[in-house]
Amino acid sequence: MEDGRKRYNCSIIDLFDRSVVATLNKLAVETLRAALERNHHPKNLLLHSDQGSQYTSRAFTDYCKEEGIRQSMSKAGYPYDNSPMESFYGTFKAEFINKHHFSSDEERNNTTMDYVYIYYNHVRPHSSNNYMTSFEKRMQA
């Protein structure tokens, strides 16, 4: 739906293989909850993010504490710590968002899921994975 409204997307990637483990156009707590439900929740999980208000909010920090997740945040004005996430969003916008027009939010949400969970994780090779897909790298582990 091209009505000029901003739509926010919260995604979580696994730094091991650069796979997207959760992506929603919802709040960070809901996205993290989805990631934990879909994936094995190891002890001592470290979640890295920028210092955006959604990650420093009481609701999010309390949820992380409840789940035993340690938070790590980029220093203010230092985007390099979060470069894998910035790289994903750059790719997501260039390869997907900027090339498609959506007739509804539902269509945007459904095609986003297809792009991320099918194409990005299983088809698209990643230079950080020695040009293997995220799925291929995970299967080698």
What pLDDT digit, counting tens, does each position of 25-47 carry?
778 899 999 888 888 777 788 88
- Which whole number is the average pLDDT over 102-115? 90
Residue with tokens 């000029």: 4
Distances (CA, A) of 125 to 32, 50, 119, 141: 25, 26, 10, 17
Q: What is the pLDDT of residue 5?
A: 65
Judge: domain 10-140, CATH 3.30.420.10.
yes
pTM value is: 0.78
- Three-class DSSP category at 24: strand
Query: How far separated are the first and last CA of the chain, in Å rounded?
Result: 40
Q: Could you give the CA distance from residue 93 to residue 95 in angstroms, rounded to a whole number?
A: 6
Domain spans, the chain: 10-140
